[in-house]
Structure 1
Amino acid sequence: MAGAIIENMSSKKLVIFGVILLLFQALSFMVGGLIAPSPTSVMLYMANKCVDTAKSHQSTKWFMPWGPNKCEIIRSFDEAMAKKIEANNIVFAVHIPQQNMEMSPWFQFMLVILQLDIAFKMHNQIEEGALATVDVALAYRDDTLSEWTEMAHSVEQRELKCKFNTQKNYENEGRYYDCDLLPFMELGSVSHKYYLLNIRLPVHERKKINVGIGEVKDIQLVGIHQNGGFTKVWFAMKTFLTPSILIVLVWYWRRITLMTRPPVLLEKVIFALGISMTFINIPVEWFSVGFDWTWMLLFGDIRQGIFYSMLLSFWIIFCGEHLMDQTERNRFSIYWKQVGPIVFGSFCLFIFDMCERGVQLTNPFYSIWASDVGTELAMAFIVVAGICACLYFLFLCFMVFQVFRNISGKRSSLPAMSKARRLHYEGLIFRFKFLMLVTLFCAAMTVIFFIISQVMEGHWQWGSQKLELNSAFFTGIYGMWNLYVFAIMFLYAPSHKRYGDNQSGGQCIISDTGASGEEIQLTTTITHVDGPTELYKMTGKAAQE
């Protein structure tokens, strides 16, 4: 029968193929490291204090911090008190981006973090568990002359977590609290050139609104968006890789269908892995440049989740199908104990994502990190996901160890064979072990990427330390996934070389021909439908000889 290409390809061609893949892997890192800028950019904004002279604060007037329609600005709350301006008549206005700049759809998303500058006063201290109520409105426009169009409006609460690092006395009045950054807003697309935020901190003594939050002096915002240069490199990479994986996917399945036997489990799983890789590769993000698709972040998370699930499940089945002491093979049902938790974990991640970005489709100011309960739940979710990823990798290492141990046990029979037979099987064992080590390396890098990406996603919403993944890591890991899937589909496709006419059941044909030699093939890469593997037959025959 036709064995897998990895078994029948000459060592010289296999080395050339590996070197080419290695060069492309190096290129994927270099594209991110040398061509693309850093993945994200950070911009700082200081809100201007505008005076709202209207009797009703529900008016549709927008307050601009600068320009021809600039609002009436006060420098400090002391000035407001001198002019008898109440806190409810002050609007914090922030224009995004800064003056003489404009936003671009290439930025893909925009994350905004809120920082309150609160001064210490003996008679107005921050109470334990204080909640800041923020009345915020977001508007947009695409030129400097048109009117602002409201995009979202919401009243949100953020729990203050502030520390005063010196002694609380009258001498230290005016010093600022050290407060954690607060999650504020996230947009799934940046399809407009200019954005305007009008923020109010309404005070209502009877309803206890913004009471006990200290003396707010200023509001600062931290805006984070994807770099346009990185977006273009990322889109170009996806556009280049999509046809490459799609072509080898079609070619692989065509070779499978040419076989007279039905495809076995491992071949089906490899095909499914190729489909999931193609799905995540398709550069639908190009449309986000011309359309206001705010759901693109959520859609990207779903695509990545599907690929993660398929990749992790593939590695389990891949190792399981090569455990040659395992009598039951080629049935998906025997892997439910390993694959089931992967599917369940992916479903939990999907629910978690829907609770965050799903709600943000209608309210960009919503955040699961806004409260202690939400923060603890989210952090627990991330920690559990990281622990599960590490445990999965350890379990995968154990499976690979079992496979290597079984092979080593069978390898003791090799000296009893003829030299040609022994060299053939030693070559197959070396290729198989090397591929398994490559699989472990890809699994380790995937787990590291998953953990770091989860931590980084939560960092800007709860942390105080700057954590930035460079472009080389993003493009390198993405290139590694594509190259690994490409290599698996190519090397595990049926070879055109034939060693017999019987292909039924996916079993190998071992025949002795000639006076001095044997034509031998060991299909360790294709699951056998019936009975023990040919390796057992081979080692048993060698022992009898």
Structure 2
Amino acid sequence: MAGAVIENLSNQKLSYILGILFLVQIAFFLVGAWLAPKPTSSMEFLFRSCIDANVTGRNWVDHQNCHEIELAEHKPLSYDLREIVFMTQMPHKRDNQQLRYHPSFQFLLGVMQPEIRSTAAFKYVRGSKLRLEVRMGARSGGDEKWRDWIEADVVRELDCHFPWGHESGDMRCEALDFFEIGYVPFPFYVMNIRIPIDREGCARDPKNTANCDVGELVGLIMVVIHQNGGFTMVWAWMKTIVVPFLFLTVRWYWDRVQSLARPPLLLEKAIFALGVSTTVLDLPIEWLPLWFERVPFMLLLGDLRQGLFYAVLCSFWLIFAGEHLIDDPTRNNLKSYWRNLSLVGSAGVALLVYDMCERGMQLSDPFYSIWSSSTGTKLAYLSIYLATLFTVIYFSFLFYKIWMVWKLIKQKRSNQYYQNNESRRLKVEAIIFRFKFLMLFTLLCAFLTILSYAMKQHGEAQLHDDEPQESLLTNSTSAFFTGTFGMWNIYVFLLLSMYAPSHKQYAGAQHLMDETEKPNCTFAPSHKQYAGAPVNPKIASQRLNPNIVEITGESVNLAADDTTFP
């Protein structure tokens, strides 16, 4: 890219810019470490066993009207046990104060932990299905009555086993992925669950009838995870402050590219696409739940934005390294990168399938989960692991491409191409040093991006595991996430500002030319002493120094300060 700012900026100005950006990067880490709480928190709820004489299930059972019973001592009042209602209210009270959910919590994710006992009368059979009739109600702060919100029939496959050395009694069951709601519009919620038994179906086909061979149900425990409101506000304000600066930088960069007398190069288009995708990622949509009551698409929209940014960023890195292989004849042609970009596309498709199966279906049914069956769980893990494998392969390939560029630069420096002009040699050495610094920053950014992606995917898988409270997303990782977010924006800002066309059109060395290149040369006289004077081609050719040429289309212009004419 001839005439880029990175090649013409003075060392002093570049040092100031890098110093400021380094302080900004530290600030991003400190915001996560000092101001932001941990990303998510969890609450554990124990369902109470209540009796509801109205077996139609249209009455709400809450803490005030729950007639609690002991399941082991209960005598059935109906043929299918529909009078038993498992009830819980969310959130808890703490220190005699009723807690409230807030729209800034962004989402609610529930994981169910059934307590099963296997006896001679109620025997558990591996792979049996548990069917739950779920009603979820909500109310605002000033409401006295619960309003109907969500109703669903939930079927989950039980996976229980006896503790070591036992053959009967209490069993340990794997956690069941229960629900995920992508917005929190109400402060209070109540959940009523009935587990009816179809006795005729159990007698006829117990294997394919739910609630038959599930053993004796002792109780239900649910862990509900939500994003911390403090983290959401820090995240939203951070994006609100960053996005105007990045938007103006992207616009300034593209205006400079379009002002050139040639079409934009592939690398310039790639940098612009990266700037646009980062701006989309920075849009503070976290404010939407605070302004609008119904925004169930927040999780899906967030995943799509993140996926778009990852795809563009990874594609850019391949193009960035490839376009700096200056001896490669396939440069400036997107088709020549199809093998490289197919790896990025494969990982993106794997994640897109997972998001459409999980987040897409949850828009209409929050109790749907790809993790609800053994087959779905295997597909979910397969999708995540494939995407992770493609990511590791991608990083290895990117490292190889950057190593090739590094090796090529070393070869260019080893010859005597620039040694006969001391000022020119120092200029070229400075350009090479700056490019190497940018390449090292690219590798660091790639490593932290992949690490952040792996932590997010692994943490999300842990949320659907037996111990969701131990997930990486529920621990204190705020500083890492805010620091990585800041690094992405700093990296993109640095690319936009450093690779923008410079207004100093004829300053500095522009290309490390191959010794075998023989371009068609024209000569620009000095604007200081000989503006408008005719040029003698013979004299000019004798003074031609290939160290100071700038390729512009089919011609080569000499820097005015490096060439004198008689």
Q: TM-score, normalised by structure 2?
A: 0.86
Single out whichever of 457-466 and 405-414 deviates more from structure 2: 457-466
Structure 1 residues 507-518: aligned runs within 5 Å: none
- Contact 1:136–1:197 at 8 Å: present in 2 too? yes
1:467 Cα shift? Answer: 2.1
Q: Deviations over 1:290-309 (max 9, x none)?
A: 21201011011111111111
Q: Mapping of 1:240-279 within 5 angstroms?
A: 240-279=241-280
Show the counterpart of 1:407.
409
1:444 alignment counterpart: 447
Q: Indicate conservation of the 8 Å contact 1:499/1:521, yes or no.
A: no
CA, structure 1 residues 498+519, in 2 after alignment: closer, same or farther (shift >3 Å)? farther
Secondary structure of the 2:75 match is helix
Distance in 2, Cα, partners of 1:530 & 1:379: 54
Task: Sort the Cα spacing of 1:522 and 1:391 in 2 relative to 1 into closer, same or farther, 3 A.
Answer: farther
Specify the alignment match of 2:205 in structure 1.
none
What's the CA shift for 1:322? 0.3
Is 1:342 aligned to residue 341 of structure 2? no
Q: Is the 8 A contact 2:344 2:390 kept in 1?
A: no
Aligned to 1:17: 17
**Equivalent residue for 1:146, pick from 144, 147, 150:** 144
- Separation in structure 2 between the aligned mates of residue 231 and residue 218 of structure 1, nearest angstrom: 34
Are the structure 2 counterparts of residues 166 and 402 from structure 1 closer, same or farther at C-alpha, using a change threshold of 3 Å? closer
Give runs of aligned pairs for residues 437-516 of structure 1, distance below 5 A. Answer: 437-464=440-467, 466-469=470-473, 470-499=477-506
Answering whether residue 184 of structure 2 is matched by residue 190 of structure 1, we say yes
- Cα offset for 1:144? 5.7
Moved more, 342-351 or 510-519: 510-519
Residues 106-505 of structure 1 mapped to structure 2, 5 A cutoff:
106-143=104-141, 145-168=143-166, 173=169, 176-208=170-202, 209-291=210-292, 292-414=294-416, 416-464=419-467, 466-469=470-473, 470-499=477-506
Cα pair 1:44 1:222 within 8 Å, conserved? yes
Structure 1 residue runs of 4 or more that deviate by more than 4 Å after TM superposition: 82-86, 507-523, 527-531
1:424 Cα offset (Å): 1.4
C-alpha deviation, 1:471, in angstroms: 0.7
Deviates further, 406-415 or 273-282: 406-415
- Tell me, yes or no, if the aligned pair for 1:97 and 1:103 is still in contact at 8 Å: yes
Deviation at 1:152, TM superposition (A): 1.6
Of residues 94-103 and 396-405 in structure 1, the stretch that sits farther from structure 2 once superposed is: 94-103
Quick check: 464-473 or 28-37, which moved more? Answer: 464-473
Residue equivalent to 1:41: 41
* Matched residue, 1:6: 6
Q: CA RMSD in A?
A: 2.9
Percent of residue pairs bearing the same amino acid type? 39
Please give the secondary structure, in 2, of the residue aligned with 1:472.
helix
**1:73 paired residue number:** 68
Cα pair 2:350 2:383 within 8 Å, conserved: no
Contact 1:80 1:86 in 2 (8 A): no
Q: 1:78 to 1:388 in 2, by over 3 A?
A: same
**Which residue identity does 1:182 align to in structure 2?**
L
CA contact (8 A) 1:51 1:91 kept: yes
| Offset, 1:344 | 4.0
Aligned to 2:91: 97
Distance 1:509-1:6 versus aligned 2 partners, 3 A rule: farther
Contact 1:330–1:529 (Cα < 8 Å) also in 2: no
Q: Is the radius of gyration larger for structure 1 or structure 2?
A: 2
Q: Which amino acid aligns with 1:448?
A: L
Which residue number in structure 2 is paired with residue 61 of structure 1?
59
Identify if the C-alpha distance between structure 1 residues 521 and 452 changes in structure 2 by more than 3 Å, giving closer, same or farther: farther
The corresponding residue for 2:564 is: none
Matched, 1:31 2:31: yes
Q: Specify the alignment match of 1:541 in structure 2.
A: none
> C-alpha displacement at 1:520, in angstroms?
6.0
Q: Deviations over 1:345-374 (max 9, x none)?
A: 323322321111111111100000000100
Offset at 1:161? 1.5
**Can you list the C-alpha shifts for 1:383-430, whole angstroms capped at 9, x where unaligned?**
111111000000000000110111111111147432222211111111
The separation in 2 between residues aligned to 1:59 and 1:401, in whole angstroms, is 67
Q: Is the 8 A contact 1:121 1:215 kept in 2?
A: yes
| 1:197 Cα offset (Å) | 0.8
Query: SS where residue 289 of structure 1 aligns?
Result: helix
Comparing 185-194 with 454-463, which one deviates more in the overlay? Answer: 454-463
Higher relative contact order (CA 8 A, sep 6+): 1
Indicate how the Cα distance of structure 1 residues 58 and 185 shifts in structure 2: closer, same or farther if over 3 A, else same: same
Does structure 1 conserve the Cα–Cα contact (< 8 Å) formed by 2:351 and 2:384? Answer: no
Which deviates further from its counterpart, 452-461 or 230-239? 452-461
In structure 2, the residue corresponding to 1:206 is in which secondary structure? helix
Q: d(CA) in 2 for partners of 1:313 and 1:521? A: 32
Query: Is 2:458–2:472's contact at 8 Å kept on the other side of the alignment?
Result: no
Q: 1:322 to 1:234 in 2, by over 3 A?
A: same
Higher mean C-alpha deviation, range 421-430 or range 311-320: 421-430
CA 1:72–1:262 in structure 2 vs 1: closer, same or farther (change >3 Å)?
A: same
Q: 1:528, 1:476 → 2: CA distance?
A: 40
Greater Cα offset, 159-168 or 189-198 = 159-168
**Shift of residue 214 of structure 1?**
1.5
Given that 2:135 and 2:152 are in contact with CA atoms closer than 8 Å, whether structure 1 keeps it comes out as yes
User: The residue matched to 1:422 in structure 2 has which SS?
Assistant: helix
SS in structure 1 at match of 2:88: strand
Residue type of the partner of 2:15?
A: V
Q: Is the 8 A contact 1:132 1:210 kept in 2?
A: yes
The answer to whether the 8 Å contact 2:92/2:99 transfers is: yes
Question: Against the structure 1 CA distance between its residues 509 and 33, is the aligned structure 2 distance closer, same or farther, given a 3 Å change threshold?
Answer: farther
1:543 corresponds to: none
Residue pair 1:329, 1:529 contacting (<8 A) in 2 also: no
Conserved 8 A contact 2:91-2:189: yes
The 2-side partners of 1:349 and 1:238 are apart by 24
- Tell whether the 8 Å contact from 1:131 to 1:160 is kept in structure 2 after alignment: yes
Q: CA 1:391–1:463 in structure 2 vs 1: closer, same or farther (change >3 Å)? A: farther
Structure 2 equivalent of residue 542 of structure 1: none
Distance in 1, Cα, partners of 2:330 & 2:67: 78
Q: 1:151 to 1:84 in 2, by over 3 A?
A: closer
CA contact (8 A) 1:3 1:495 kept: yes
Provide, for residues 34-82 of structure 1, a one-character-per-residue CA deviation record: whole Å limited to 9, x for no partner.
101111011111111110212xx33421111x13xx22221x2123139
C-alpha distance in structure 1 between counterparts of 2:346 and 2:363, whole Å: 25
Quote the offset at 1:11 in angstroms.
1.4
Note the alpha carbon deviations across 1:93-123, whole angstroms, 9 max, x for none.
Answer: 1111113111110101000110111124244
- Please report how far the alpha carbon of residue 327 of structure 1 lies from its aligned counterpart in structure 2 after TM superposition: 1.1
Q: Any idea what SS the aligned residue of 2:284 has?
A: coil
Task: Report the 3-state secondary structure (helix = DSSP H, G, I; strand = E; otherwise coil) of the residue aligned with 1:207.
Answer: helix
Tell me by how many angstroms 1:334 deviates.
1.2
CA displacement at 1:463 relative to structure 2: 4.6
Give the stretch that moved more between structures: 414-423 or 292-301. 414-423
Q: Displacement of 1:522 after TM fit?
A: 7.4
Q: Does the CA-based 8 Å contact 2:371-2:464 persist in structure 1?
A: yes
String of CA shifts for 1:152-196, please: whole Å, max 9, x gaps: 211111111122114345xx63xx312111100110000111111
Using the alignment, how far apart are the partners of 2:454 and 2:213 within structure 1? 38
1:205 Cα shift?
2.6
In the aligned structure 2, how far is the partner of 1:456 from the partner of 1:223? 15
Secondary structure at the counterpart of residue 245 of structure 2: helix
Q: 1:512 to 1:424 in 2, by over 3 A?
A: farther
Aligned to 1:88: 82
